[in-house]
Structure 1
Amino acid sequence: MKDMATRSTLKPLLLGACLLALSPLPALATDPAPVAQVAMPDTETWDIQAAHGQTYRIFVSRPQGEAPKDGYPVLYVLDGNAMFAGFAEARRIQSVYRDGQDKMIVVGIGYPGDTPYDPRRMGDFTAPIATPALKALYKEFPAGGRDQFVAFLIDQLRPEIAKRYNIHPVRQSLYGHSLGGLFALHMLYSRPGAFHTIIAASPSIWWDNQAIVAEEPAFRARLEKEPALGRGTRLLMLTGEREETEVTVTDSAALAKRLEPLSAYGLRSSYKVLDGETHVTVPARSVTMVLRAVMQWP
């Protein structure tokens, strides 16, 4: 019985060896074929110099075929070098279903070079640092150029996108993660109605001793006076369950509570914690729900 069991076990192995022996020998190794960088379909990239002198690399993912009658919705994605590819391919794959969910334009706002996170982002997404300890910690990094970046985004880049593509004048959305999420909240407070949908993923509300919180009262007062601005804006906040900095979750949850009463003035806001996700994995997990939020209308 033991020999029979052994033969039964060896039989498939021996058969595989025989088939391998009958197979043609692999070709001898030759010089590898030349390689090229991967090109993403339905995308293009170009550089633009801002009025304040800095150069930005713009990545665009656009659908094939005719634009909708009112133009394409647009999603602007901060940290384009790191984030654009995920959003672009997720948009493109939606075309498989032919239900129109791919009919948007994704614009990644990045920087020349291949670094996922350029140090310039700190300057673009933050106000001048007021906390001495934080200022000392980041003394080698640029900070405080937020107003210049706002001007570039609103007054220069958006008109350029409108010239190049057939876009919807109102269905414009903004996505930012971490310090980019902090910037997205600043855009909500300082330019309500500028974007129909704002997505703040893992926003760094803690930055500079929670300086962003000081912007809330003026925003609230403005919505109370002009409810139409609230009705023209949606906010989606996202954090990861396993954020390395716990205050990212607690600060976002507290902000979500503070914003709830503003629904009386038309602001639609929601907050989701993504189970199992860390700070750096939140963007990948958020892609699909962000694209769905962008396509919601009215």
Structure 2
Amino acid sequence: MRNTGQVGPEHARKQAELRIFGQAVPTHFLSQTVVKAGPGHRLFLAVPRGTPPAGGWPIVYLLDGNAVFDFLTPDLLALAPGLMLAGIGYDTDRQFAREQRTLDFTAPEGPGDGIRPDPVHPGRLVGGASLFLDRLTGPLRAAAEAAAPVDPARRTLWGHSFGGLFTLYALLTRPGAFARYAAISPSIWWDEGLIRRVADRAGRMAAPPPLLAALGDREKRSGSDGPPPDGPAPATMRFLADLRDGPGLSPQIHVLPGLVHIDTIAGSLPLALPFAAA
């Protein structure tokens, strides 16, 4: 696969500093380890201090864990002191593993269609979402939940950008994999027709899980020309609204004022962490 690490937005090349691991965190114990599954993942954990409830801790799985834990602060963790966090990252020192996340977070065209070249980003591959969902709910989940008792009925999946697109894919294809879903600035633009076909195939859900969606009102696609837009992405807003009529979901939609794309990671956490802890 061609290395495109030297092009694209600045944040895509940024090293993960992970300052929170050097700070005092009164509410959680922090740890990080490497899980040798698939391409290799870094697992970042924040386990609540104190005695777990009888059923185990609620847990939120955070995609792009290297970046999320770079934005995480003790004050944010204090918003949900009884919530366990599992950041699912890649074995890299950067915030984002661009090529790998593009592969893992994008949907196949249909059952068994497999992996294919990315029509948007030359040199990348796409279509690995089903395989990654197997990995996420298999060895990655097992590694995270070996660290502390977890309530299997209170698992939440959170994803941003391509991770937000994957979160919608997981919700629409395997709604029982998690109890709640939080899709932040999902990359509907990447292939709106494909994610709409995924939603159409899902049909009407008998018991739709809760969905939180958030996006900024100053977001634009990476590398696009012109000033930031004034308002949330219309395609994303349309898609979220249509989830009510198709699968029967009732998304909580939050527009984050003044935020560009990268800022919605941290900007969504004051909403998403209490949502996952509920």
Q: What is the TM-score when the length of structure 2 is the normalising length?
A: 0.78
Aligned pair count reads 240
Aligned to 1:165: 148
Q: Summarize deviations over 1:194-214 as a string: whole Å, max 9, x none.
A: 211111111111113531110
Deviation (angstroms), 1:88: 5.8
8 Å Cα contact 2:59/2:150 also seen in 1: yes
Aligned to 1:139: 122
Q: Name the aligned partner's letter for residue 105 of structure 2.
A: F
Q: Does 1:114 align with 2:93?
A: yes
SS, match of residue 106 in structure 1: strand
Q: Percent identity?
A: 31
CA distance in 2, matches of 1:268, 1:136: 31
8 Å Cα contact 1:90/1:288 also seen in 2: no
Q: Name the aligned partner's letter for residue 86 of structure 1.
A: F
Q: Which has the higher helix share?
A: 1
Deviation (angstroms), 1:168: 0.6
SS, match of residue 206 in structure 1: helix
SS, match of residue 55 in structure 2: coil
8 Å Cα contact 2:45/2:144 also seen in 1: no
Aligned to 2:172: 189
Q: Summarize deviations over 1:133-157 as a string: whole Å, max 9, x none.
A: x835523223222222111001222
Deviation (angstroms), 1:113: 2.4
SS, match of residue 62 in structure 1: strand
Aligned to 2:78: 93
CA distance in 2, matches of 1:63, 1:261: 38
Aligned to 2:45: 60
Query: Alignment partner for residue 124 of structure 1, among 80, 90, 104?
Result: 104
8 Å Cα contact 2:66/2:90 also seen in 1: yes
Aligned to 2:259: 277
CA distance in 2, matches of 1:106, 1:273: 24
SS, match of residue 214 in structure 1: helix
SS, match of residue 271 in structure 2: helix
Structure 1: state its 5+ residue gaps: 1-36, 95-100
Query: Alignment partner for residue 46 of structure 1, among 33, 42, 46?
Result: 33
More deviation, 182-191/199-208: 199-208
SS, match of residue 186 in structure 2: coil
Q: Summarize deviations over 1:197-252 as a string: whole Å, max 9, x none.
A: 1111111111135311101112224x1xxx13x1xx11111111011146971122
Distance 1:103 1:88, change over 3 A: farther
Aligned to 1:103: 82
Greater Rg over alpha carbons, structure: 1
Distance 1:259 1:137, change over 3 A: closer
CA distance in 2, matches of 1:153, 1:274: 28
Q: Which runs of 4+ in 1 moved over 4 A?
A: none
CA distance in 2, matches of 1:85, 1:168: 26
Query: Alignment partner for residue 61 of structure 2, among 76, 85, 89?
Result: 76
SS, match of residue 176 in structure 2: coil
Q: Does 1:242 align with 2:223?
A: no
Deviation (angstroms), 1:162: 2.7
CA distance in 2, matches of 1:235, 1:136: 29
8 Å Cα contact 1:256/1:270 also seen in 2: no
Distance 1:88 1:194, change over 3 A: farther
Aligned to 2:244: 260
SS, match of residue 118 in structure 2: helix
Structure 2: state its 5+ residue gaps: 1-18, 222-228
8 Å Cα contact 2:59/2:277 also seen in 1: no
RMSD: 2.4
CA distance in 1, matches of 2:120, 2:132: 23
Q: What is the TM-score when the length of structure 1 is the normalising length?
A: 0.73
Query: Alignment partner for residue 291 of structure 1, among 261, 273, 278?
Result: 273
Q: Name the aligned partner's letter for residue 169 of structure 1.
A: P
Aligned to 2:193: 210
Which structure has more relative contact order (CA 8 Å, sep 6+)? It is 2
More deviation, 85-94/235-244: 85-94
